[in-house]
Structures are given as structure tokens and as C-alpha cells.
Amino acid sequence: MTSKQVVIVGGGVSGLSAGVCLSERGVPVTLLEQKPTLGGRAYSFKDAETGDIIDNGQHVLIVGYERTMQFLKTIGTLHLLSIQPLPVLIFHHPQKGFCRFQLPKLPTPMHFIVGILQSNLFSFMDRWRMLRAGKDIQAADVEDSLATMTVEQWLDSVGQSAECRRSFWEPIAVSMMNENLATAPALPFVRSLRKAFLGNWRNACLAVPNVGLSQLYVEGSQKYIDTHGGKISCGADVVEILFKDSLVERVRLRNNVEVECTALILAVPPYRVQALLPDAMLRGPSLSDIQSIRYSPIISAHLWFVKDFMDHEFCGLIGRRTQWLFNRRKIIKESGKGGHVSAVISAAYDFVEYSNEELIRLTLEDIRSVYPALATEPTHAVVIREKRATFSLTPKTEYLRPPQETSVPNLFLAGDWTNTGYPATIEGAIVSAERCADLAMRVV
């Protein structure tokens, strides 16, 4: 561990992606992960009681996430996604029941127009309101006006009704941004919608992992880095960055082992960056405000039942506390008995301190409001709280996100929280990692 190389601190998706990108270019990397396992906020594990694979949070991708699709192709796990043949979202409305929003195979923007007009989710007037929003999404010249807006303010500006917000925008925006409409920034949301709904019709097709997240992101990355001469060390806690002549020279681990590097990529959350960088750097213009970045929680409740009662792979819940239900039996192709449902609450500020029993009760109430015939209690339940699931994205924090390049020529920052133009998504994490790899190539 003493030869010079690119060192990556952090084994989440951004760190793994940076390692794969550099390995692909023939650059040896050493990846140091503080925890005993890789994956960061995207990992899975086997439930001890049922033997089923559980993710710490359900991931749903879109085909329009081009860099994510390419990353999975490179590490050999793209085939582990179930990709929709047509973009379809299933929602359950408290009064209307199950509703579909489907985009046909038509050129842009006709696919969006026809999808809106044909959906039974919207009233006649709301269809025209949705088309007005679609026109605004497509117009690139609106970005300056969106820069200081929240999603709620943008919806006001394009005349969206309360029912339209509740039935479509809220379940989409809260899950995509992991923030409430009143605080989430409009600009990255609209950019994401443009990529999803107003690119090629195929861009909006959902891609759902049919394996656990560790198998999707971690195992292929680890194998790729290993076979290309890289090294990965878990339980390697970096506690200090050592500089020489205004460059990073090496990092020191908690066990006092030092690792030399020609370039260093910090693929860690903001609070870890604060702990590792010297005060003088943290007072610099691009990093002085990262201490103001806050975090948004996600709760996932895994519930097992005697019978599998969900007909769909997943369903958005309108007007409930739970935004989405996922049928793990259908998604993961699990062979276990009965039903296994994952209920997801994003931007879960109001619920993150609830007891497990309270969370199970409220998710059961939401599930039964969709499936009233479900009379049985769950046979088993697991609640997962990710209190720092993503950074909290607001119009203000959008301006606090630092670039990947720092004032130190061989030190770079990766992560979905850096300035990527995207919300806190896998696509953003990978975009940041690829930019770091490009920057590192200049100094190796």
C-alpha cells in the first residue's frame, strides 16, 4: 500500500464508479472504505428470519439515466434490471381506484401529449394543465427563472390544480427529490422531468433491479476493479490527509498506515469531507457553506404476509403517507412463500422518530386503503430508517453544492451532493465520479 496511485476514499456508488472509470482507462486505484462492506447508501442484506434479500431502500431507475446504464453495462450487471417495454406508472387514487399513466411509442413531444390525454388519472381540465406544464418543462429558456423557485412555486406558475398536484406531482416529486414540494428546488426537478418524460419515449421506461442492490452495484464493481489491478480495502478508516507543496501526498488510516497517492478522490458525504479537510480549505469559496447542508430521511418498511395480494410490481399511493408500494416477490423473483411488500416513505421528517410498531401500523393502514380485502396481519416485518438517505435539496442548498474540482490540483470531490445538476440520484453520483476520473487523469 505504498506505491503511488489514485486513492479513492469511500466505497459507495460514486466511489465505486470512480474506481471503475479509472480502471477502464488503465489507471490503478486503491479504494478505502471505512465500513466493513461496500455500497454506502445502496446495499442489501439477507433477512435472518425469511432468507429474503432486503435493500436498505428501494431503487427505481429510468432508462434515461444514460451514465448509470453505461456503468452497469461496464461492470456486467445491466441484465439484472427489469426494463419496461413501455413507460407505465400505476397509481391508486382514493376515489378513482387504480389509474395508469402510460407513454406510447411516438416522437417527442407527441408521446407526452398523447399519454396525458389518454390517462384516466386526470380530469379534462387537468389534462390541459398538465400539457401547459409539459411545455414549460421542454423550454430550456425557463431555467433562469426556475433557479430560485421551489417545486411548489413552479407548479403555481404553470397553473397546476390541487388535485393534479396530489395525484401526480407529489408522488413523483417527493420520491425523486426526497423533499417536500414546498422546499424542493424546481430547477433540478424540471431538468430530471425533461430527461425522463420529454426525451425519447424509451427514456421514461422504468428499470427496476431484480436482485439486491449489493449484487447490482457492488459485486460487479469490485470484480472489475480487482481484475484491472486495483485494490479495495474495507474497514480502512481514513483519518487524515497529508499535504506536501500544496498537493495531497498521502492519507493516513486510523491504524497509522499511510497510503501514497498522485491523486485523491473523496467520495464521501459532506460531514466526512468536513472532518478530513483542513480548516483553511473549508474556508475557501467553494467549500465554506457545506456545513449548512442538511439531510433528508427515507423509511422502508418490509412486510411479509401469508398470501401475495399485489397484482402490480409497484404502485404509487395518492394522498397517503406511504408514497410507493413494491411487490418484492414480483420484482426480485423471490421464491419464498406468501407476500413480501416494501413500503417507502420519502422525505420522512414527520415519521423518522416513530417506533417500529407505529411505522408498521401506519404503513398497514395505507396498504389496506388500497387493498381492503387484506385482513391478515404481517407474519414478519423489518423497518429500515436512513436518516441521512440524501442531502436535503432546496433552492438555497443548490448553490451550496461544490464542484468536483477543488483548490488543491490533485484533490477531487465525488458524490450526488456535489454540483451535478441532478437531484440526489444514482445518476448524479455516477456523473460526479466520472468528472473526478477525468480530472484525475490530468495529474496521473
The beta strands (E) that lie in 34-139 are given as 44-46, 53-55, 61-62, 81-83, 88-93, 97-102
Q: Which residues pair with 233 in a beta bridge?
A: 32
pLDDT at 4: 61
pLDDT for res 3: 52
Query: Binning pLDDT at 50, 70 and 90, where does residue 198 land?
Result: confident
Q: Is residue 92 part of a domain?
A: no
The mean per-residue pLDDT over the stretch 400-422 comes to 95
Contacts of 79 (CB under 8 A, 6+ apart): none
Domain shared by 414 and 349, yes or no: no
Rounded average pLDDT over 68-73: 98
Q: Are residues 405 and 387 in the same domain?
A: no
| 399 shares a domain with 260 | yes
Of the candidates 9, 6, 2, 4, the residue with the CA atom closest to the CA atom of residue 241 = 9
Whether 153 and 273 map to the same domain: the answer is no
Would residue 135 count as lying in a domain? Answer: yes
Burial 226-246 (b: 16+ CB within 10 A, else e): eebebbbeeebebeebeeeee
pLDDT at 335 over 80: no
Higher pLDDT, 252 or 199: 252
- Residue 333's pLDDT band (cuts 50, 70, 90): confident
Query: With pLDDT > 70 as the criterion, what percentage of the chain qualifies?
Result: 98
Q: Is 239 within a domain?
A: yes
- Asked if residue 125 and residue 184 are part of one domain, the reply reads yes
Domain CATH for 362: 3.90.660.10
Q: Is the pLDDT of residue 141 over 80?
A: no
For residue 81, tell me if it sits in a domain: no
Co-location of 283 and 329 in the same domain: no
Poorest-pLDDT segment among 3-7, 40-44, 301-305: 3-7
What is the CATH number for 172?
Answer: 1.10.3110
Q: Is 82 within a domain?
A: no
Are 291 and 35 in contact by the 8 Å Cβ rule? The answer is no
Residue 404 and residue 271 share a domain: yes
Asked if residue 415 belongs to a domain, the reply is: yes
Distance of CA 281 to the CA centre of its chain: 28
| pLDDT of residue 1 exceeding 60 | no
* Grid coordinates of 220: 460487479
Which among 171, 204, 237 is the end of a domain?
A: 204
Mean pLDDT, the chain, rounded, equals: 93
Which is more confidently placed, 195 or 9? 9
* Shared domain check, 307 and 354: yes
Asked whether residue 264 falls in the same domain as residue 330, the answer is no
User: Structurally, how many domains does the chain consist of?
Assistant: 3
**DSSP secondary structure of 203-254:** GG-EEEESS-HIIIIIIHHHHHHHHTT-EEEES--EEEEEEETTEEEEEEET
> Same domain for 302 and 289?
no
Residues 6+ apart with CB under 8 A from 391: 269, 270, 293, 294, 295, 296, 397, 416, 417, 424
Residue 433 belongs to domain with CATH number: 3.50.50.60
DSSP 349: T
Distance CA(434)–CA(432), nearest Å, equals 6
- Answer positive or negative: Cα dihedral of 132, 137, 143, 149: positive
Q: Is the pLDDT of residue 380 over 60?
A: yes
Range of the domain at 308: 295-391
User: What is the predicted pLDDT for the residue at 334?
Assistant: 66
Between CA 169 and CA 2 the distance in angstroms is 52
Residue 364 lies in a domain: yes
Co-location of 12 and 151 in the same domain: no
Could you report the per-residue pLDDT of 296-316, keeping only the tens digit for each? 999 999 999 999 999 999 999
Average pLDDT over residues 104-132: 92
Amino acid making up residue 291: Q
Domain contains 275: yes
Residues 270-304 have pLDDT tens digits of 999 999 999 989 988 889 888 889 999 999 999 99
Q: Note the pLDDT of residue 58.
A: 87
pLDDT tens digit sequence for 220-245: 999 999 999 999 999 999 999 999 99
Residue predicted with more confidence, 144 or 155:
155
Among residues 160, 172, 152, 110, the alpha carbon closest in space to that of 132 is found at 160
d(CA 392, CA 235): 28
Q: How far is CA 403 from the centre of its chain?
A: 19
Question: Is residue 267 located within the same domain as residue 415?
Answer: yes
